A and B are shown apart, each in its own frame.
Chain A
Amino acid sequence: MQPYRNKDYAQHLLDRLRQEAVRPLSAMEVCGTHTVAIARSGLRELLPENIRLISGPGCPVCVTDDLDLDIVIALAQQPGIVMATFGDMMRVPGTQSSLLEAKSRGADVRVVYSPTDAVDLAAEHPDKQVVFLAVGFETTIPTIAVAVEQAVQQGLRNFSIFSLHKLVPPVMEALLTDPEVKLDAFINPGHVCTILGTEPFKFIAEKYGKPCVVAGFEAVDIMEALLMILSQYNQGRPAVEIQYKRAVRPEGNPVARAFIDKYFIPVNATWRGIGEVPGSGLALRDEFAHLDAQKRFPITVTPGKRVKNCSCGQVLKGLKLPYECALFGKACTPMKPVGPCMVSTEGSCAAYYRYGAQKVGGTV
């Protein structure tokens, strides 16, 4: 058995990391699930001083732009609309309110587990317009493409999606070209790579010379991935490697990628705290425009004011750690979140808050 939670093996890995970390390394864990695993295990505090882990923008809920969300909330309040969403999105604040608050004011907002549940809702309620709030990275997008296909096959006239999808490789490139952000390596998101494989990340090694290792979600997985990164880093041979072999093949899942390509094309998208990133979103192809809620229900809202003092943008770029935000744990808690990083269970701030990550490991 591979000892995912064997203490002796974990200690052995820590010893090896101490030997190999001969010069400073800043590695970003791109994925929110990794951020949670690192906070839960206390790994950040156990690592040698030379290794600094930075939490990245890898939570689709957290990076949903508040102005985009304002439009979604305004649409949800239109008569005859049923807004179907993953549960994580309910409490995310726009500039003025959240979907949960809209629901309490009478909007018909329903939480679904799978995108196909939203298609079923539309079939069951032909008198309503069901809009699915399509949020997610490459892990989730294929499941939404299948839901779109089901709606097409069933000839549903009352189903559409509001696409706020985000793509991971373009935002990683945006971080690499941001002069404020200093990164030496990436811990790649495990399940995004289950779909994408390694090819879409090769530019990071080849063009930017940075190591990338796809990691699993146990502390031991992450330590093994860091050792693989250090080996690349010390030997000066940047590459995209897979530690999480039980869930990721180099070729990814080509069937799932074909579903994405069949229904969506890349567009520019705005990431909360990061701004517009070219080619980092997806819109439905023109032939499926009748399923595109943005086109079908054009809504303009007065742009609200973004929250002051919230550091989510800097946290998402790895420039600040959550406890360095003036609001953290005071005005902003999981019960009353100000920014999206505190809302989602996979947000950096929520993970730090829940697991009590201490002020260790230095600042940026």
Chain B
Amino acid sequence: MCLAIPSKILSIKGHTAEIDVGGNTKEVNITLTPEAKVGDYVLLHAGFAIHVMDEQAAEEIFDAWEVAYAALQE
């Protein structure tokens, strides 16, 4: 239940951000991460950003996912 998914912020309007999740866009609430800005990676939980990640950490996760995805294709 406490799963959280990293996603990149594409745009922000008030307390709502448009984010990219694996190529799909979705709106999330950023009330709990007021420091979030366009281009940041955030952790998502129940429709909310709950944490702003540093870019290096997020890229590491995506790299890991790509490795896992490539492994699945083998």
- Residue B21 is within 8 A (CB to CB) of chain A in the complex: no
Q: Would you list which residues of chain A between 41 and 64 have a CB under 8 Å from chain B? A: 58-61
CA of A116 to CA of B46, assembled, Å: 9
CA of A143 to CA of B54, assembled, Å: 22
Chain A residues within an 8 Å CB radius of B1: 32-33, 59-61, 86, 88, 135-137, 139-140, 344, 346
- Residue B32 is within 8 A (CB to CB) of chain A in the complex: yes
Chain A residues within an 8 Å CB radius of B47: 113-117, 143
Contact check, A247 vs B4: say whether CB atoms are below 8 A apart: yes
- Residue A246 is within 8 A (CB to CB) of chain B in the complex: yes
Chain B residues within an 8 Å CB radius of A323: none
Contact check, A194 vs B4: say whether CB atoms are below 8 A apart: yes
Question: Known: A113-B47, A142-B48. Is A192-B2 also a contact (CB below 8 A)?
Answer: yes
CA of A31 to CA of B1, assembled, Å: 9
- Residue A264 is within 8 A (CB to CB) of chain B in the complex: no
Chain B residues within an 8 Å CB radius of A248: 51
Give the A-B contact count at a CB cut-off of 8 A: 111
Chain A residues within an 8 Å CB radius of B34: 255
Kindly provide the distance from the CB of A140 to the nearest chain B CB, expressed in whole angstroms: 6
- Residue B12 is within 8 A (CB to CB) of chain A in the complex: no
Contact check, B67 vs A253: say whether CB atoms are below 8 A apart: no
Identify which of A88, A142, A218 contacts B50 (C-beta below 8 A): A142
- Residue B31 is within 8 A (CB to CB) of chain A in the complex: yes
Contact check, A191 vs B43: say whether CB atoms are below 8 A apart: yes
Contact check, B51 vs A247: say whether CB atoms are below 8 A apart: yes
* Minimal Cβ-Cβ distance residue in B for A217: B3
CA of A139 to CA of B2, assembled, Å: 6
Contact check, B64 vs A5: say whether CB atoms are below 8 A apart: yes
Chain A residues within an 8 Å CB radius of B68: 5
CA of A117 to CA of B47, assembled, Å: 9
Identify which of A33, A59, A140, A346 contacts B46 (C-beta below 8 A): A140
Kindly provide the distance from the CB of B37 to the nearest chain A CB, expressed in whole angstroms: 15
B interface, by DSSP: helix, strand, loop or mixed? mixed
Chain B residues within an 8 Å CB radius of A116: 29, 47
Kindly provide the distance from the CB of A272 to the nearest chain B CB, expressed in whole angstroms: 15
Q: Would you list which residues of chain B between 35 and 71 have a CB under 8 Å from chain A? A: 43, 45-48, 50-51, 53-54, 57-58, 60-61, 63-64, 67-68, 71
- Residue A189 is within 8 A (CB to CB) of chain B in the complex: yes
Contact check, A247 vs B43: say whether CB atoms are below 8 A apart: yes
Contact check, B45 vs A139: say whether CB atoms are below 8 A apart: yes
Identify which of B50, B58, B64 contacts A139 (C-beta below 8 A): B50
Chain B residues within an 8 Å CB radius of A86: 1, 46
Contact check, A246 vs B53: say whether CB atoms are below 8 A apart: yes
Kindly provide the distance from the CB of B35 to the nearest chain A CB, expressed in whole angstroms: 8
Identify which of B3, B32, B63, B71 contacts A253 (C-beta below 8 A): B32
- Residue A2 is within 8 A (CB to CB) of chain B in the complex: yes
Binding site for B on A (CB under 8 A): 1-6, 31-33, 58-61, 86, 88, 113-117, 135-137, 139-140, 142-143, 146, 189-192, 194-195, 218, 245-248, 253, 255-256, 259, 344, 346
With A113-B46, A191-B43 given, can you name 19 additional A-B contacts, CB distance below 8 Å? A1-B60, A2-B60, A4-B61, A5-B67, A5-B68, A31-B2, A59-B1, A60-B2, A114-B46, A136-B2, A143-B32, A189-B2, A191-B4, A191-B50, A192-B2, A218-B64, A253-B32, A256-B50, A346-B1
Q: Can you pick out 5 interface pairs between chain A and chain B where the beta carbons lie within 8 Å of each other?
A: A60-B2, A194-B43, A194-B50, A253-B33, A344-B1
Binding site for A on B (CB under 8 A): 1-4, 29, 31-34, 43, 45-48, 50-51, 53-54, 57-58, 60-61, 63-64, 67-68, 71
Closest 9 CB pairs of A and B: A114-B47, A246-B57, A4-B64, A139-B2, A191-B2, A143-B48, A1-B63, A256-B32, A143-B46
